[in-house]
Structure formats: C-alpha cells, structure tokens
Amino acid sequence: MKGGRMVGGKGEHYRVEKLTEKGEGRWRIFLSNGEEIEVEEEVVIDHRLLPGQEISSSILDEVDNLNRVASGYGKAISYLSYRPRSTAEVKQYLIGKGYEREAAMILKRLEEKGYLDDRTFAATWVRDRLALKPRGSLLLRKELEEKGIREEWIEEALSTVRPEMEEEEALRLGRKKIATLRGREWDEIKGRLLRYLFQKGYSFPVIESILPTLKEDFRREEE
C-alpha cells in the first residue's frame, strides 16, 4: 500500500530494497514485493530499516504502530510549542487528530521527556494569570479543573495566592468598575460590583472585606 501499511500474510518476510528521504523527518521505504511504506526517521533508526535488511510481517506490524506513535508524538510537540498545555489538553488534541489508540503511549513519552508536567503547569498557570489577567482563586480553580488538573496540584498552586493579594486586586478592579458607574445610587453600584467581582472569581469573604473601602471611595467622590 503506497504511503501506508502494506498487507501481507503472517510469517512472510520482505527485504528493504531502498530508502528515499521525503523531508521533515520522514522516509519512504521500498520493499521487495514492490510495495512502499512511509515511516518516521526514528523508526528507521530504531529498526535499522536499511537496504538489504530482511523484515517479517510481524515486524511490519510493530513498525506501523511505532510509526503512528512517532507521528502523533511529533504533532504533540508542535502543539506544545505554542504554549504550555495540560495532559488532558494534549490527550484531547491527539484524539481529535486520530491518535486515540496511541495517545497513552505518546503521553507517557511526553511526560518522560519533560514536555508534560501537570504540577508545573498548574503553578505556571496561576502565576501567569495573576500577572497578566488578574482574577480570583475561584475562577483560577475552575480553569484548572477544566484542564484536567488533579485536585492536590490545584490546591498547591492556589496556596501561593495570598488573601491580601486577592483583596488588593479585587479593590483595584472594584474601583475601575465604579468609575464606569458614576451617576448611579450606591445600592445599584453595590449589586453590580458583587456580580462583577464574582464573575472575576473572587469569593464573598474577599468581596465583603473590600466593600466598605469602595463605599467610602464612592461617598467621597459624591461630596
């Protein structure tokens, strides 16, 4: 089968006649029965698929499987090059690309090579979110849960979010929100503030702790 897996009877043997490089780490192998297969370079190296090499149909089955693993691994590396991803994100990506059967092996390999580490991912996610797009710990937790991060690593990552840090950021966001609501009564502003800060992931205790300051700011502006 040109460009794919050849079909042969069990116990049959074939000889590699020649190899040609296709580029981007792929090779075309010409077999003694006239068929051709395309494989990843690492499969060629691992199985020494050189001209004159005799290979059995069972080895071809193994080559076919490893070839798909290598192909999926390459796609996963490319996917990870844009930004860090969780294991669940990469698994979903692989399934979407047709590598459901090979996903477990690919994910294990990515973890062994250090490309996937959900514990580090969670810590990095919290740190970057707080630096670039501040939000409360409730929203951060929801985001990490959606990315399939284990509870213990979510807790560990969120332990770096100090209460005073949340209060300070919620106060800053609250003041910005009030500036867009001038001319309204405090009761209306308070209701909008509550909804806004809840949406940003701040807990009621955090919001409750900053409301007196926001109310005092509002009153001074109204005087």
What is the rounded distance in angstroms from the CA atom of residue 73 to the CA atom of residue 130?
A: 32
What pLDDT sits at residue 52? 86
Predicted pLDDT of residue 37? 81
Q: Cα(74)–Cα(80) distance, rounded to whole angstroms?
A: 10
More confident residue, 214 or 58: 214
Q: How many CA atoms lie within 13 A of 178 on its CB side?
A: 22
Q: What pLDDT does residue 11 have?
A: 60
**Is residue 6 very low, low, confident or very high in pLDDT (cuts 50, 70, 90)?**
very low
Would you state the pLDDT for residue 136? 96
Residue 189, Cβ density class (10 Å: 0-12 exposed, 13-18 middle, ≥19 buried): buried
CB 26, CB 36: distance < 8 Å = no
pLDDT attached to residue 223: 64
pLDDT tens string 36-75: 888 888 888 888 888 888 887 777 777 788 888 988 999 9
Looking at residue 4, its pLDDT comes to 41
Q: What global pTM score does this model have?
A: 0.76
Give the pLDDT score at 40: 81
| Percent share of the chain, pLDDT over 70 | 95
Least confident of 22-26, 66-70, 194-198: 22-26
Helix, coil or strand: residue 55: strand
User: In the β-sheet with 26-31, what is the strand arrangement from edge to edge?
Assistant: 36-40, 26-31, 13-23, 54-56
